[in-house]
Structure 1
């Protein structure tokens, strides 16, 4: 994890721990530079990251302020840090169905920018928030980048593991959204009926150097999935 990302995480953790509210003012940039003993450019990049995530907003000449949505239970849709960092006090658990090494099919290989002879970890799990089914997830990780996964790791947060244990720095993601109906198999995992509505999201996660390392297909439980999108500036 790069220094500015670490600082951004610490600032966000401080906001959560102190239960700061919308409009609460944070220390000025110079104070943060002294507190974290880093340059102005590092703090600026950390604040820009938090602003893109919808955690803060900045007013020139006035300061840095907390930005929070006020509807409990809503998750930020556009996050590159996984579910766990996105749920606040809510409890995330997983039912691991599969963790295995395999050769990707043509679609998976194309999305990961690898060959069909390369190895990937396939992870399948059902995820729960506060005991309610949230989604069914099927993910593929490039084994050359994520060389080891097991059920214990997968039952918790894979992104925490790859960043802290492997030193992998997650950069950005591309998301493809589709409103559809559940297949029989998907409905079984989610405790719903075939042809019930669902939101499907395909996401390709990249390292900071632009290399894809994770391709995920997530199918959400329509009754338990609530999202917020925090935009910066007006839509044109």
Structure 2
């Protein structure tokens, strides 16, 4: 069911991006979507909830689900949701340069970060993420081998988020995110095409499965000119 709502949300997001609903400014009704996609009411409502969390639509009680007005000056990374960079930039060329792919034994520090035992096996992936060949983020990520048994360079060059969800069938629960401003170190700056000491927005996140187990932790330095973030909050 989780996969069904995600697929439906992705299909609707693609139609929104194509401007299909621009004339009326709103999505078809629940009943129309149920008939069109052969989906359950539960799947339709949850797909719309995913779109609303990402800021793509906003429901108005008694009136329907309205498409958010285009922000008009480029794509944004959603703070309130996690769907991978490929999912955040539909229709754009998203690529990766892999700097490191290794399988480690967790030491004391890494075991604390990964909520695992010392000696447990952990994949480490260091890569530069690019959008339309422009550097966006320098990412260091760790994945517990218990949940992600295999990664090769081809997989690391693509969407690890999509690989974990679609190929491994992991059931994602929630993500804890910490965002802070800082200054680039020499390694990060070189990868991003910037200078050491220039500003960066750092994101540390811990990704948990529906059973409450952490399977992935990431430390990401975003290019201060190329990355922009968005969230939608309630005024209630």
Q: Which residue of 1 aligns with 2:67?
A: 66
Q: Which residue of 1 aligns with 2:123?
A: 121
Deviation at 1:53, TM superposition (A): 1.4
Matched residue pairs, number? 234
Q: Is the 8 A contact 1:182 1:198 kept in 2?
A: yes
TM-score, normalised to structure 2's length? 0.90
Deviation at 1:203, TM superposition (A): 0.7
1: CA distance, partners of 2:20 / 2:105: 46
Match of 1:108 among 100, 110, 132: 110
Deviation at 1:40, TM superposition (A): 2.3
Q: Which residue of 2 aligns with 1:181?
A: 183
**Unpaired stretches in structure 2, ≥5 consecutive residues:** none
The SS at the match of 1:83 is: helix
Q: Which residue of 2 aligns with 1:136?
A: 138
Alignment of 1:48-87 (within 5 A): 48-67=49-68, 68-87=70-89
Q: Is the 8 A contact 1:122 1:140 kept in 2?
A: yes
Deviation at 1:19, TM superposition (A): 4.9
Match of 2:157 among 147, 155, 158: 155
Note if 1:211 corresponds to 2:213.
Answer: yes
Q: Which residue of 2 aligns with 1:25?
A: 26
Q: 1:42 to 1:88 in 2, by over 3 A?
A: closer
RMSD over aligned CA atoms reads 2.0
Q: Is the 8 A contact 1:138 1:216 kept in 2?
A: yes
Q: 1:96 to 1:196 in 2, by over 3 A?
A: same
CA deviation profile, 1:48-92 (whole Å, cap 9, x unmatched): 222111111111111111124332143323331110000123221
Deviation at 1:168, TM superposition (A): 1.5
Q: Is the 8 A contact 1:176 1:203 kept in 2?
A: yes
**Unpaired stretches in structure 1, ≥5 consecutive residues:** none
